[in-house]
């Protein structure tokens, strides 16, 4: 019986880069221009000896391994008789011969439990058997002492990038059989296009988080809250700087690198009217007292799970009357969403509960024009995005799932998602009173569906106007 190749992710082109080692054989003139290492036999022999054995050899399963094995079993049951191919992804060139820091593709991390940056080019292959699938993890062996690539290959050589696990270590860490990437069958190597069924199945599997995932998300949220605290302490320095938004961004991003892997997405540090731009990531503006700061940021922990939290803060520590009115409306909408979120409720119902509040308040303020079409929803001019999205390995997790299972799907215990209504009155919006123009407010929390409702994972970060002011005063 033939098998169908299902691949997920980008091309497996990194294989060529690894197989061309050592770099000294590379004919690329740019690399040759930078080459200055000795190439004599005596040098090669000398450099291959005199190195102590590593003392950090991995011999035990990583914490995620048992959960990843269960996920592979669940995926296997959905694709009987079919080969499943899930690459880790390739290194991406930033400029010339310099790469971006590597982050494995989320589906690869989900199925292997590997979240570190040392397996570019790796491929997980699940071959069909009579009773499921046998998994093999194809990885690039480390180029250590005795291998010319040790010093000659800037992508694999340990002299360049540090020690990497060997095949036996990867097997010990993951519980998956391993093989040299050079032995990857040719038909798999040529399978370079993602196949929707596997991608979609994994997105839908990731709706409900297991015990390990929930703990990783708790850790990410707690690290993010600590990052917000650091930002508040740095607000005076941000106000004094010509690009204060960059001070805020750098403060949080530095914290994310110290306490986790990185940020889970580009930090939004939007001050003043910039807060009305939903994805303001330029962060080039000044931070002025009297304005609001919309900070949307999340720490991605080493396992690659990320938080996603937003708070809108008065830069001088006190809301004005108008700012407080807008903020309180957004908070009321968020609380309405919290009130309906429980198992058995549609995911979309959470959004609609928040929108009912937004529509009611904006209508009371007299800024929503009358319209004969009840479905016009003109109030959405001031909040065009959805109130919630799933959260996990990706900040917008489960994105490949079918709409009927996402927006129309029912909430289940173990789901983790955001609740994040907002109001955004742009500075040039002449349809609203002048006092509202340039005010943007979003409040975003990360929630876990429980047996009878939701748990606010980010509840330790103040939400009410009074609590925010008191919190900021205490930190400053």
Q: Each residue of 349-407: pLDDT tens digit?
A: 999 999 999 999 999 999 999 888 988 999 999 999 999 999 999 999 999 999 999 99
Q: What is the pTM of this model?
A: 0.92
What residues form DSSP beta bridges with 447?
A: 417, 456
Whether residue 153 sits in one domain with residue 15? yes
Label residues 205-223 b or e (16+ Cβ within 10 Å = b): bbbbbbebbbebbbbbbbb
More confident residue, 5 or 364: 364
- The pLDDT value given to residue 152: 87
Residue 148 sits in the same domain as residue 220: no
pLDDT one-digit tens code per residue, 176-191: 999 999 999 988 876 5
Statement: residue 71 has pLDDT above 90: yes
Query: Of 152, 184, 205, which residue sits at a domain end?
Result: 205
Span 221-240, pLDDT tens digits: 999 999 999 999 999 999 99
Which of 180, 205, 230 represents a domain boundary (last residue)? 205
For residue range 194-204, what is the model confidence (pLDDT) as tens digits?
588 999 999 99
The two tokens of residue 115 are: 């979240």
Same domain, 391 and 428: yes
Residues 52, 173 share a domain: yes
Q: What is the pLDDT of residue 238?
A: 98
Q: Are 253 and 371 in the same domain?
A: yes
CATH number, domain of 171, equals 3.40.350
Is residue 201 domain-shared with residue 227, that is, in the same domain? no
Least confident of 1-15, 90-104, 126-140: 1-15
Average pLDDT over residues 314-318: 98
Name which of 364, 275, 279 is nearest 323 in CA terms.
Answer: 275
Mean pLDDT of 320-330: 98
Neighbours of 47 (CB within 10 A): 18
Residue 187, both tokens: 């038909």
Q: Domain with 423 in it: what CATH number?
A: 3.90.230.10
Residue 61 burial (CB count, 10 A): 15
Task: Look at residues 139, 172, 205 and tell me which one is the last residue of a structural domain.
Answer: 205
Give the residue with greater pLDDT, 419 vs 116: 419
Cis bond upstream, residue 389 (ω within 30)? no
Rounded (5°) CA angle 319-380-275: 35
Residues 140 and 235 in one domain: no
Reported as a single tens digit per residue, the pLDDT across 258-280 is 999 999 999 999 999 999 999 99
What is the separation of C-alpha 15 from the centre of its chain, rounded to a whole number of angstroms? 26
Structural domain including 29 reads 5-205
pLDDT at 4: 39
Question: Residue 339: CB partners within 8 Å, gap ≥ 6?
Answer: 353
Are 288 and 382 in the same domain?
yes
Q: How many structural domains are present in the chain? A: 2
The backbone torsions φ and ψ at residue 275, rounded to the nearest 5 degrees and listed phi first, read -65, -15
Pair 218, 287 in one domain: yes
Mean pLDDT of 30-37: 57
> How many angstroms separate the CA atoms of 472 and 476, rounded?
6
Contacts of 3 (CB under 8 A, 6+ apart): 81, 82, 83, 127, 128
pLDDT tier, 31 (very low <50, low <70, confident <90, very high otherwise): low
- For residue 6, the model assigns a pLDDT of 47
Same domain, yes or no: 225 and 295:
yes
Q: Please state the rounded mean pLDDT for residues 290-310.
A: 98
Judgement on whether residues 244 and 303 belong to the same structural domain of the protein: yes
Query: Which pLDDT score, from 0 to 100, does residue 44 have?
Result: 87
pLDDT digits (tens, 9 = 90+) for 202-215: 999 999 999 999 99
21 or 404, which is more confident? Answer: 404
Statement to judge: residues 386 and 301 lie in one domain: yes
Confidence at residue 33, expressed as pLDDT on a 0 to 100 scale: 52
Give the pLDDT of residue 2. Answer: 37
Q: What are the b/e assignments for 277-293, b being 16+ CB within 10 Å?
A: ebebebbebbbeeebbb
Say whether pLDDT at 317 is over 80. Answer: yes
């Amino acid at each position: 019986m033939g098998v169908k190749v299902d691949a997920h992710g980008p091309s497996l082109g990194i294989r060529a880069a690894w197989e061309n080692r050592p770099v000294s054989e590379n004919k690329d003139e740019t690399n040759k221009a930078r080459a200055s290492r000795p190439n004599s036999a005596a040098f090669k022999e000398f450099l291959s000896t005199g190195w102590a054995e590593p003392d950090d050899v991995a011999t035990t399963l990583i914490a995620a391994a048992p959960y990843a094995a269960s996920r592979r079993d669940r995926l296997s049951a959905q694709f009987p008789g079919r080969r499943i191919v899930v690459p880790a992804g390739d290194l991406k060139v930033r400029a010339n011969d310099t790469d971006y820091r590597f982050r494995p593709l989320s589906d690869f991390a989900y199925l292997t439990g590997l979240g570190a940056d040392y397996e570019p080019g790796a491929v997980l292959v699940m071959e069909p058997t009579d009773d499921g699938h046998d998994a093999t993890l194809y990885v690039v062996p480390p180029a250590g002492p005795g291998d010319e690539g040790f010093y000659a290959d800037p992508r694999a050589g340990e002299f360049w990038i540090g020690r990497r696990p060997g095949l036996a270590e990867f097997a010990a860490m993951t519980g998956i059989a391993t093989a040299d990437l050079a032995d990857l069958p040719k038909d798999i190597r040529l399978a370079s296009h993602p196949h929707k069924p596997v991608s979609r199945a994994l997105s839908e599997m990731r709706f409900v988080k297991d015990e390990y995932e929930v703990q990783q998300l708790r850790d990410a949220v707690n690290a993010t809250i600590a990052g917000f605290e650091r930002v508040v302490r740095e607000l005076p320095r941000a106000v004094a700087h010509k690009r204060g938004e960059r001070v805020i961004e750098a403060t949080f991003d530095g914290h994310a690198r110290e306490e986790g892997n990185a940020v889970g997405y580009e930090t939004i540090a939007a001050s003043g009217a910039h807060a009305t731009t939903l994805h303001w990531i330029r962060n080039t503006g000044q931070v002025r007292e009297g304005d609001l700061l919309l900070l949307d940021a999340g720490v991605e922990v080493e396992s690659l799970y990320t938080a996603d939290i937003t708070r809108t803060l008065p830069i001088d520590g006190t809301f004005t009357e108008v700012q407080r009115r807008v903020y309180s409306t957004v908070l009321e909408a968020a609380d309405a969403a919290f009130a309906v979120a429980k198992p058995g409720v549609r995911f979309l119902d959470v959004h609609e509960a928040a929108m009912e509040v937004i529509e009611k308040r904006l209508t009371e303020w007299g800024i929503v024009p009358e319209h004969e079409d009840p479905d016009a929803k003109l109030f959405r001019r001031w909040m065009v995005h959805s109130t919630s999205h799933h959260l996990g390995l990706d900040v917008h997790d489960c994105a490949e799932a079918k709409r009927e299972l996402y927006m129309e799907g029912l909430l289940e215990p173990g789901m983790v998602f955001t609740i994040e209504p907002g109001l955004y009155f742009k500075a040039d919006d002449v349809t609203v009173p002048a006092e509202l123009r340039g005010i943007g407010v979003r409040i975003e929390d990360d929630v876990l569906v429980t047996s009878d409702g939701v748990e606010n994972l980010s509840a330790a970060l103040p939400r009410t106007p009074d609590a925010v002011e008191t919190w900021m005063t205490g930190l400053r």
